[in-house]
Chain A
Amino acid sequence: MTQHNAGPVTGSILVVGGGIAGLTAALEAAEAGHEVHLVEKNHYLGGRVAQLHRYFPKLCPPSCGLEINFKRIRQNPRIHCWTGAQVEKVDGPPGDLEVTVRVAPRYVNERCTACGDCVAVCPVERADDFNYGLSRTTAIYLPHAFAFPLRFAVDRGVCPGLECGRCLPACKVDAIELGMQPRSMKLKVGAVVYATGWQPYDAARLEGLGFGQAKNVITNVMMERLAAPGGPTAGKITRPSDGRPPQHVVFVQCAGSRDENHLAYCSAVCCLASLKQATYVREQVPDARVHMFYIDVRTPGRYEDFYTKVAADPNVTLSRGKVARVSELPGSGNLLVEAENTLTGELLRVETELVVLATGMQPTASAVAHDSLGFLRVDRAAGFGAAGCARRPADVAGSVQDATGAALRAIQTAGRPIHG
């Protein structure tokens, strides 16, 4: 099905990506009176920050700010959200662009009230990608507890469809449509902001660091889910091998970043993320010890205060050294971490119960103009802007600042709406 939106062209903008940068760009423009289309590929908004337990340095939950942003969306009629949607094509001159958007079927329509009756009858399970595969959901699932929109979706990759169909009679509001088809629609906008975000660097490619081989080697994004109350362990940090809280945790910095074989750049947030995760461990396991291996500790600006605070904890040790190898010790599931002093060549060896790889951020692959490392370039002449981690590695506040500026640049191209 193809739809044309009949909304006014002047002043309207398209934001691609519904993470914190995209949400911000969309909301800032909409609150300045612009018509905004927000296109998000997931079935929920919030992107990577929705998967974080807390933000540094305040250690506050991302859901708090997301809730405000969702409230802003709910009360603003000028913002139109398309989830499960991706931009296929953008044509035309800046100020008068035609965008083709493909909306993937969710298999659950807008009548869904999130009552959850369907879950009770669904016989099939899937790995929960929101929890990075650390838990399972039924084939019909709510993306996560704070999902916005609050509506279920079906993973047709595992759902047998009508030959099962048990969910259909369970749904009292006829919200499930297992035959739902993808649809395509066209939007007329004046400018586009790409805020397509990032993905964690694939830790399996980090040879010698044990990910995928040793059970108790996890990544920093998995650590966020382990610590989150809505996560796979209801917020208890435990070792994947035996479910025990770890008494000793090693953080391996620059796992992929600052490494020409992987990501040549610095991912900008991993030092702070590991320091933050050290506080998770210390808060939950009173006697636990944390050891962080780093090349440089990068905590710019006022974040230095946070570094100073965490480093003052006597149970937190920071050592300069590039981790060369992580190997599993037989029996205990413990790990031997070997780090090298790059100047003297001296090897440091530490035995630990859990290793967290501070994997870096990789910009989401995009067809839009980008540099050789994958970061998007702003092309103001074409009416294209970029914001957030798609443009450069950044923390949340930095992404929000960037996105707010991107919103302004977009509305310049799109034209200010005329107040009636």
Chain B
Amino acid sequence: MGEKLKAFICTGCGIGEALDVEKLAKVATSEYKIPECVRHACLCGEEGRGLVAKALQQDGIDTAVLAACSPRVCTDAWPYDPTTRILERVNLREHVTWCHPAKDEDTQMLAEDYLRMGIVKAQKSEFLEPALEACSSAVPVVGGGPAGLTAALEAAAAGTEVVLVEKTERLGGFAAKVWRAYPTEEPFRDLQESDVFGQIKAVEANPRIRVHTAAQVAEIKGQPGQFDVTIAANGATEQTRVGAVVVATGWQPYDAAKLGHLGYGRCKNVITNVQLEEMAREGKLLRPADGKPPKKVVFIQCAGSRDQEHLPYCSAVCCRVSLKQALYVRELDPTATATIIYKDIRTPGEFELFYKRVQEDPGVFLTKGDVVEVKENADRTVTIVADNTLLGEKIEVTADLVVLATGMVPATFDNPTLNLAYRLGKELPTAPHGFTDSEFICFPYETQRTGIYAAGTVHQPMDTLTATDDAAGAAMKAIQCVDSVQRGAAVHPRAGDLSFPSFFLQRCTQCKRCTEECPFGTLDEDEKGTPKPNPNRCRRCGVCMGACPERIVSFKNYNVDMIASMIKAIEVPEEDEEKPRVVALMCENDAYPALDLAGLNRLTYDPMFRVIPVRCLGSVHLVWIADSLSKGIDGVMLIGCKFGDDYQCHFIKGSEIANKRLENLKETLTRLALESDRVKVVQLAITDYGKLPAILGEFADKIREVGPNPYKGL
């Protein structure tokens, strides 16, 4: 666009004092032939806002270039509709005048380059046309335990049609198999009936919830708003169109057969907490060896959990379950005692009060220790040896029933659950230990499959109360996802973004890089390997754009040509001027704000850098680096988020992909007799703004040391 373009320069916040604004305005009016470049002392003030609004609404201007402060501030000062107008911000304040000396030749050159780049970007931008298609808002919930029941009820209460798919014959999951539940409210004293029975009744009575028991998801294909779910039950299949999916398939107990070292399978009177629950429901505890009631029950905590040989994680609920079961022992036979051997008692929050209440029982004993040996005696009693006790010595305890507090394994661990018809795999990607992904602390519902949200113990070990809250959250995300795709908008982290990638498939060479590198499994393929876009699965990071060697992927407001044109707009001084230039491609989520913070704190750095924000380093196309170097720009920096196990990239692996691509590029550079030192990837956290001047300075020194780009002036 940019056919009817107007430029505005704000001279407030010190910009006017630091720059030769008239000379800067000439860049717009003379170089780019923009009819008018308005100068104003406070563009974000009432008068300034009015000028911009009038231009965009009354004067027939469709594109405004605002050279003022960072696009991260004053965002509501100049509202515009991205489907009919373009507004491009040029960051003169944080990135130029707040961090470079006033009335300085280099500062002026920097400002002029940024204005050029902003004008070119605006000219290369197009109005957004959101992808609007008919959507279903129905939500299938996979799994009928407390989390699944909650997700179904909560979604239905918000007006959503729900299809509940449960693998077994009946609803309720493990929660329906327990005798009693531990208390979840003050005064945290008495065991109570599980809430799950009330939930089952409510689900069965709810006209918005269709229940399939003894059923499984045979396939899910399509995209948010347009998923087709095939449900297999009783030998028949049924296909339903839905909008988003909640996965709440829960957990399974860790296989006790693997706990031979704790006596399971070797000693007759060693059982699991699941077996004890079944007995308690029958109303009596009996020793398997002789069917007699036990008098001394010992619970061994962390049976499998917190054990590098078994489950390295903590299963989060076993302490509370054993405390509860100790009360069963006492209630069913007041002359019996219960001893709990633990590593740490973990009763978070107010559950501490329940722990206290159990401690008050004179027949319940708690002993810290690591169980090192479990042996069966001739009379079928079991002797347990524990080390590292608080007494500093080994202790021996003999029991006539031993209960292993076995941990939880996500039900999805070895069972196909969703059967996604996705190029990148049938199930949700998992985090370590087999729980469904999200590795984001701030955004725990961000699975790598848009519109599919995990809840409850499939997500991480948790108690029932937490699982039900988690399920309400997952239902919220499902509803929100449908609402967003109905508006043609992206979901997190670019929530509300109306742009989406288009693929010029006539030029596709079926190299499959886009399908393989998309962190979200957005693209499927036909038999030949041509990508099949699913815009509603897309998170708009642009990793596919960075991946495509044919440059066929583009967004209306972000594309290879646009950034390449911005790079071309940079003025590169002659070699003898000794003014090197570096293009810095910076992640807009973290690195770019960090540079703003450097400005806010008036930190200064070398003026050779020309910063271009990118959606993610993964969207960086190598041709931008080639273009920069062939134009005589002396170096290129990519500054983005940390990658590796504790990645901070908002698009999972964008920065990691960029780093890999760069490694390959460096080899190419060396072949072209260009120093590979001219290109560098830096991992930066948003709080590292104080380190930025040094990081940039170090690269600036390196560029000066390497010397001018030999392509300069060619």
Contact = CB atoms under 8 A, between A and B. Distances in A.
Given A402-B473, A405-B476, A408-B479, 5 more contacts: A28-B480, A60-B648, A267-B349, A342-B390, A401-B470
19 contacts: A28-B476, A28-B477, A31-B483, A33-B487, A60-B685, A61-B686, A64-B589, A74-B75, A146-B597, A172-B12, A229-B689, A264-B353, A300-B314, A342-B390, A397-B444, A400-B441, A401-B445, A405-B469, A405-B472
A224 B684 CA distance: 20
Given A409-B154, A411-B158, A63 B687 contact: yes
Q: Classify chain A's interface size.
A: 35 or more
A88 to B, nearest CB: 26
Contacts of A343: 390-391
A341 B368 CA distance: 12
Interface string A40-58: 0000000000000101011
A320 B433 CA distance: 28
Interface stretch (A111-119, A180-188, A241-249): A111-119
A405 B345 CA distance: 28
B462 A301 contact: yes
B480 A68 contact: no
Given A68-B650, A229-B688, A320 B443 contact: no
A75 B75 contact: yes
Contacts of A234: 690
A342 B158 CA distance: 51
A132 B566 CA distance: 45
B157 interface: yes
Contacts of B72: 71, 74
Nearest to B160: A416
B674 to A, nearest CB: 34
A419 B486 CA distance: 10
A28 B495 CA distance: 10
Nearest to B468: A405
A111 to B, nearest CB: 6
Contacts of A68: 442-443, 492-493, 589, 650
A113 B486 contact: no
B472 A409 contact: yes
A369 to B, nearest CB: 12
Which of A116, A266, A301, A416 is packed against the most chain B CB atoms within 10 Å? A301
B495 A31 contact: yes
B13 interface: yes
A130 interface: no
A32 B460 contact: no
B499 to A, nearest CB: 12
Given A31-B495, A372-B186, A65 B348 contact: no
B14 interface: yes
Interface string B379-395: 00000000000111000
Contact of B686 (A67, A76, A416): A67
A69 B442 contact: yes
A65 B686 CA distance: 10
Interface of A: 20, 27-28, 31-33, 53, 55, 57-69, 71-72, 74-77, 111, 113-116, 145-146, 150, 172-173, 228-230, 234-235, 258, 264-268, 296-305, 308, 320, 341-344, 371-373, 375, 392-394, 396-398, 400-409, 411-412, 416, 419
Contact of A60 (B75, B441, B475): B441
Contacts of B76: 74
Contacts of A300: 314, 316, 346, 348, 461-462
A169 to B, nearest CB: 16
B46 to A, nearest CB: 9
B642 interface: yes
B69 interface: yes
Given A59-B646, A68-B589, A408 B689 contact: no
B495 A371 contact: no
Nearest to A414: B158
A63 B648 CA distance: 12
Contacts of B313: 301-302, 304-305
B312 A304 contact: yes
Contacts of B13: 113, 115
Contact of A266 (B349, B484, B492): B349
A57 B352 CA distance: 23
Interface of B: 12-14, 42, 44-45, 69, 72-73, 75-76, 79, 154-155, 157-159, 185-186, 305-306, 308, 312-316, 344-353, 356, 368, 390-392, 431-433, 435, 439-445, 460-462, 466, 469-477, 479-480, 483-484, 486-487, 491-493, 495-496, 589-590, 593, 597, 600-602, 641-642, 646, 648, 650, 685-690
Given A76-B496, A393-B349, A404 B473 contact: yes
B347 A266 contact: yes
Contacts of A53: 687
A28 B368 CA distance: 43
A230 B685 CA distance: 13
A298 B589 contact: no
A55 B441 contact: yes
B352 A58 contact: no
Contacts of B348: 266, 268, 298, 300, 393
A229 B646 contact: no
B642 A60 contact: yes
B44 A401 contact: no
The majority secondary structure among interface residues of chain A is loop
Given A55-B441, A113-B44, A61 B312 contact: no
A145 B476 contact: no
B471 A405 contact: yes
Contacts of B590: 64, 67
Given A60-B685, A61-B686, A72 B495 contact: yes
Given A173-B12, A301-B460, A404-B445, A373 B350 contact: yes
A299 B646 CA distance: 18
B687 A228 contact: yes
B344 A20 contact: no
Contacts of A228: 687
Contacts of B686: 61, 63-64, 67
A60 B440 CA distance: 10
Contacts of B471: 405
Contacts of B441: 55, 58, 60, 65, 396-397, 400
A222 B44 CA distance: 37
B350 A392 contact: yes
Nearest to A416: B159
A300 B186 CA distance: 22
Contacts of B461: 300-302
Ranked 10 nearest A-B pairs via Cβ: A65-B442, A405-B472, A404-B473, A408-B476, A296-B344, A343-B390, A32-B480, A405-B473, A268-B348, A74-B75
Most A C-beta atoms less than 10 A away, residue of B390, B431, B469: B469
Nearest to B79: A77
Choose among B186, B442, B474 the residue with the greatest number of A CB atoms under 10 Å from its CB.
Answer: B442
A32 B483 contact: yes
A127 B204 CA distance: 59
Contacts of B345: 296
Contact of B470 (A59, A63, A67, A405): A405
Contacts of A67: 589-590, 593, 686
A67 B588 CA distance: 10
Contacts of A416: 158-159
B650 A113 contact: no
Listed residue (B346, B445, B462) with the most chain A CB atoms within 10 angstroms of its CB: B346
Contacts of A406: 472
A386 B345 CA distance: 28
Nearest to B601: A145
Contact of B346 (A69, A75, A298): A298
A246 B319 CA distance: 37
Contact of B495 (A59, A76, A409): A76
B647 to A, nearest CB: 8
A182 to B, nearest CB: 24
Contacts of A55: 441-442
Nearest to A63: B686
